[in-house]
Amino acid sequence: MNTVSQMRIQKPAEEIFEAFVDPEKIGGFWFSSSSERWQEGKTVTLTYKEYDAEGDIKIIELLENEKIVFEWAGSHAVTIHFLPEQSNSTIVKVKEDGFDNKDENLISQLLDNKEGWVYMLTCLKGYMEYGVSLRASLIKQG
């Protein structure tokens, strides 16, 4: 099982790609910061200061302005594609693989995951197109 989420953003792929890999920019739409610039082969620590949380990701592949692949959450692989369109817009496509089809909590894991990616992508759109921050406001079901 995997999840796939896709958003059209009215900016060129280079600008959007840069927002992921630049530790100063990620705080505009996703985690509050990265420990360093994303590079192939690096392990980067992502911090969520609002939730007093952090986690490592391992950058498996980084194809400038086109594709990022990283591992997190154990054996989960995340692939982000930057697909250029006409008129300088870009489709950002996120796929996460590695869900265990036999896990009794599979459905809630998939829903949490889908929620997180759609939220991040919409925050990314707001940040790239208007420079506004919409992050850290999703409330998990209690």
Contact status: 137 vs a copy of itself (CB under 8 A): yes
Contact status: 63 vs a copy of itself (CB under 8 A): no
123: which strand partners? none
Contact status: 50 vs a copy of itself (CB under 8 A): no
Instruction: Give the shortest CB-4-to-a copy of itself separation in angstroms.
Output: 5
Number of other residues whose CB lies within 10 A of the CB of residue 90: 23
Q: Is the dihedral of CA 117, 16, 44, 79 positive or negative?
A: positive
Number of other residues whose CB lies within 10 A of the CB of residue 123: 21
Q: Which 3 state secondary structure label does DSSP give 12?
A: coil
- How buried is residue 1: exposed, middle or buried, by Cβ count under 10 Å (0-12/13-18/19+)? middle
Instruction: Give the shortest CB-136-to-a copy of itself separation in angstroms.
Output: 9
Among 24, 53, 97, 138, binds a copy of itself (CB under 8 A): 138
Measured CA to CA, the distance from residue 112 to residue 56 in angstroms comes to 19
Instruction: Give the shortest CB-98-to-a copy of itself separation in angstroms.
Output: 16
Contact status: 105 vs a copy of itself (CB under 8 A): no
Contact status: 122 vs a copy of itself (CB under 8 A): yes
The residue ranges that bind a copy of itself (CB under 8 A) are 1, 3-9, 91, 93, 106-107, 110-111, 114-115, 118-119, 121-123, 125-126, 129-130, 132, 134, 137-141
